[in-house]
Structure 1
Amino acid sequence: MHKPRKQARQKRSKATQAAIVEAAARLLESQGRGGLTTNAIADRAGVSVGSLYQYFPNKEAILATLIRDKRRTLLMQMQQAVQETSAAAPSVALDALLRAGMMHQFIRPALAFELEYVEQRLELAAESAALAEEMAQLVLETIQRLQPDAGLQNARDVVAITKGLINAAAMAGEAGSDALFDRARRAVIGYLSQTAPEVTK
């Protein structure tokens, strides 16, 4: 659902498609959902509306592509955090994952805020569930270093806890900060300490 009309293969076509998606992102940041039309996106991207429709059937397909791009970026950042801390202390690995999630939300906070609402309107539930499971597997790999008995549901809970805290902070206009990081870390450690008493700071 909400797929691009065609997959860009040539370098120029890929650049045009990327420009259209980035134009939608910038409009969401500057004008919100109310200012997002295919005409406005085409104008911001510097292409004709006809050219836009060669790549995307409607603005929903553009937004879905944008969301998928952001999801891939988040997953790559989490994977990188896990890989780079594989030999580090477990607490360092957990911190790296938390910071990856915060960076994803706050590097472009206005865009992340708008996409939270857009995602709910698009039929991406199956994709969202698949992403959540991939994230949970990465989290599980990390929290099992703190508590070997932790299971997949514990990892899902950690994802939900951190996502809830980060999203709530973003909606309140709070920037990504050490204070928010500390709150998220305490929440996760607190949860893990209740499910596995030997987990400590």
Structure 2
Amino acid sequence: MKLQPRKEPRQARSKAMVDTILDAIARVLVERGYAKTNTNLVAEAAGISVGSLYQYFPNKDALIFALRERHVTHMLSLFEEVVTKMNGEGSLVGDFEALIDALVQAHLLEPELNRILEEEFPAFNLPVSSNLRLRFFEAIKSVLSKHRSSLTTPDIDVAAFVVQRMLKALINAVVLTGPTGVNAGSVRSEIMPAVVGYLTAERKH
């Protein structure tokens, strides 16, 4: 199935149109879920014709894929902003508290949309673009490199990869799929020991 847009918006007007379409499918998805969402409903919600929508996106899944990319890009921007503001005096725990807070807050901005994009979209196992994933990896690696002397992990690249996957899994579990009574606030403090414990655990050589 084709998931790439028909054409990339280059002019301001085209970019505004694509944003309007993606805003519309976000609303329709939250209201109706994946199964009951279709391009006709999205076009109606965007205030455009289906033909205009098809100029940019070939099908519903391409729309959702683009929405997911935009959503991840936004979360990445918040994450990178936190990393950029870190100074040389911050502790390992303090820096990761800031990172985890940023990710949790980003997920909580649109929790229902997050849930749909992660759980209902049939292609949710498809990776986000390699560039976005690499930027997340590099941001985490920069923080680990800053605290290299405090870590017991022998390979900083492996550690950055593991932490990247841990944060995604733990935060998704808390924000998206936690059972009744389990929420981001109650579990946030438990994520820190899991991450820092991995990074500083005694290792047998």
TM-score (norm 1): 0.85
Greater alpha carbon shift after TM alignment, 182-191 vs 118-127? 118-127
Q: CA deviation at 1:62?
A: 1.1
Residue 144 (structure 1) aligned with residue 140 (structure 2): no
Q: Given that residues 33 and 120 in structure 2 are in contact (C-alpha distance below 8 angstroms), is that contact kept between their aligned partners in structure 1?
A: no
Q: Any unmatched runs of 5+ in structure 2?
A: none
Q: Which residue of 2 aligns with 1:93?
A: 95
Cα distance, 1:55–1:133 mapped onto 2, change above 3 Å: closer
Residue among 110, 113, 120 paired with 1:111:
113
More helix by percentage: 1
Residue 55 (structure 1) aligned with residue 56 (structure 2): yes
Structure-1 separation of matches of 2:33 and 2:202: 41
Residue among 178, 184, 192 paired with 1:176:
184
Give the partner amino acid of 1:73: H
Cα distance, 1:22–1:196 mapped onto 2, change above 3 Å: farther
Structure-1 separation of matches of 2:9 and 2:133: 27
Superposed CA RMSD:
2.4
Q: Given that residues 137 and 161 in structure 2 are in contact (C-alpha distance below 8 angstroms), is that contact kept between their aligned partners in structure 1?
A: yes
Equivalence map 1:20-39=2 (5 Å): 20-39=21-40
Q: Given that residues 137 and 152 in structure 1 are in contact (C-alpha distance below 8 angstroms), is that contact kept between their aligned partners in structure 2?
A: no
Cα distance, 1:48–1:126 mapped onto 2, change above 3 Å: closer
Q: Any unmatched runs of 5+ in structure 1?
A: none
TM-score (norm 2): 0.83
Q: How many residues get paired? A: 195
Identity percentage over the alignment? 29
Q: Given that residues 42 and 48 in structure 1 are in contact (C-alpha distance below 8 angstroms), is that contact kept between their aligned partners in structure 2?
A: yes
Q: CA deviation at 1:80?
A: 0.7
Q: Given that residues 23 and 41 in structure 1 are in contact (C-alpha distance below 8 angstroms), is that contact kept between their aligned partners in structure 2?
A: yes
3-state SS of the aligned residue for 1:35?
coil
